[in-house]
Every structure is written in structure tokens, then in C-alpha cells.
Amino acid sequence: QVQLQESGPGLVKPSGTLSLTCAVSGGSISSSNWWSWVRQPPGKGLEWIGEIYHSGSTNYNPSLKSRVTISVDKSKSQFSLKLSSVTAADTAVYYCARVKWSSGWVDYWGQGTLVTVSS
């Protein structure tokens, strides 16, 4: 059973950079999957941020592309999200997730972590 666990600061200052890591266990990060980030502002819907394959290939949401970097560390079986120049609008629960190669749907989710942007 694949398990995903997000970690990182719960509070980020405006104009700063949000940094989160997702630890993958119960399966290989080098398997045929896209490792993704999805966020959900309080009381709102889901927004896909982007994804990375173990080769390092990435795809990003065009609406966030200029501010997002997703990376992978296979040696630690984890992948990471960096979102720069954050504002209050970036306050959300951030989920890491797995999308099987060529499937398109999310079959595993992390529990989510709330990140608040505030001074």
C-alpha cells in the first residue's frame, strides 16, 4: 500500500517561498507514476499544481507555472514543491498525490498539510 506524507512549514510570509516535501513509502518512487501536487484553499475546490516523473520530467499548471518548481530525490524517495512569491491567495491545504503513468486519475493521496500565508 503506497503511503504519501507531506511535510514543511505551516506558515509562510507574503512574498516568500512555500516549500513542501512528500515522502513516498510502500512503493518505489521510480515506478511508472507521476508524482503530483494538488491544493485546496479553505472551503474551496481542488487545483492541480503540477507533477514530476522519476526521470525529472515535469508538467505544471499554466496558471502557476512561473512560480512553481517540482523536484525529485530518488535516493530519499521523496519529491518536493517550491512556490515562490506567495500571497494570501496561496493559503491552502496542499496534497501530494500519485497519478499512474498514462492513467490520469489520482489513486493515492497524502493526508494534506495546511499552509497559511501571513505576516
CB of 2 to another protein, least distance (A): 13
Q: Is 110 in the site for another protein (CB under 8 A)?
A: yes
Nearest to 46 by CA among 117, 6, 106: 106
Out of 21, 48, 77, 84, the only residue in the binding site for another protein (CB under 8 A) is: 48
CB of 89 to another protein, least distance (A): 17
Out of 35, 53, 79, 95, the only residue in the binding site for another protein (CB under 8 A) is: 95
Angle formed at CA 53 by CA 13 and CA 11, multiple of 5 degrees: 15
How is residue 68 written as a grid cell?
A: 512553481
Give, as ranges, the residues between 53 and 72 that touch another protein (CB under 8 A): 59-62
Q: Residue 28 or 101: which CB sits closer to another protein?
A: 101
